[in-house]
Chains A and B, each alone.
Chain A
């Protein structure tokens, strides 16, 4: 069995009276693209900073590529590339200078990839950083990280500030990392991004893991969203097992269906008679909202 690329167990970290991490678990296997989802302030950045050995955890254990990130930070960083979440680059350096500096500090710069990435991200490396727009500064960070030869990439909200075209370039680059067998931890609060890219997803809330697994496993935990215009009497739906939140407006019935109840509900609908039917697949968004949407009515589904 492979050593996990990231193995975090029961991690705790407090800043003063604020508890940022409260028994957090995370496991990422080598070669996986792992999504790391959570609302603002949930502990994503704190986790990544602990994985980089920049913070010392109060409790629990963290291993990165089999090493202790606090003790073996320097040796480990030669095998890791990162895009931090919140950084102001040196305003007087050019983008190219910043990229080269970071690559050399990391120890494994790849000049061929550097040229390729600058071209693909349409970045002008001779501009001073203070003259770049927000999106272009983010591209500098992305090129710097992706142009280093690493086993593990820790990306903290890497697409913030990018336009949709550049987001696509970024996704293509991440897929390329996967083909090369590299491991990626991608923190984000953008569900679509994680859905498109990631093999596994870990959801963090208030410093704790609330859900973790492959996309398929997680989808299983959610429900189909259905809206239908029915010919017959919908009374049978109200008592059908696996149907939730049934409501009707202007003759359109809306409800949710547990993933394992799909088949009987479909039969039931066929019996009632359907004029119009929209059957949406379970989305990560539903799962997300179920965990975070304290104020939403679906909160009855607390796990």
Chain B
């Protein structure tokens, strides 16, 4: 059983950060702080220089990480250096997957990338710009090395694309709560229930993301039926403020941990609320 297992015992909290943001060493601490705060799976971004549809928060994280020297090979070392027990998912762009070359064998492409990822302990991928109809080679590589392949469904996803994703998806499905670019919001979308309804009969857990910023948001999303919540920008904002010198590095880690705890507790509260509603029905 792959990533699905982490959703089995209640709502999962899935944080995202870019590996190596703002530096290799600091980032190791931050990822570990997220685990302490209650992360169930961590989406660890492998930064790409030409991201599409990311808000400024994530874009700037990507720039900080790249400027600090992050590369795919360095990323895999980073994962090896991490001292965490929760599963890690590599979130990236297809360019880096397709261009990846195994220096020893000379093999290039999705299989080489998946092999190396599995070797360092990655359990799955989210490749944001990989259309489902072109996912075949990566799906095969994931099967070969026992990895999950997560897809993102948007409020506009329908028809053939929805069916193709259903066919290829494993681990969990990333349900994007609204249209637009990534970024923390003051309010979360009301499209959550609608979006969840479209994947209700899929046999993978449904994790909802995009714009979640507070424990209260997390609670509402889980109460609306999500099996997990994905939070990126609200955490990266903390790292960004730390990188800007607003507070020292140890405090950044503490703030991440307590933000993680707030989100996880929100998710748990949402699950209780849902259970109560279901009982009263």
Task: Answer whether A and B are interacting partners.
Answer: no
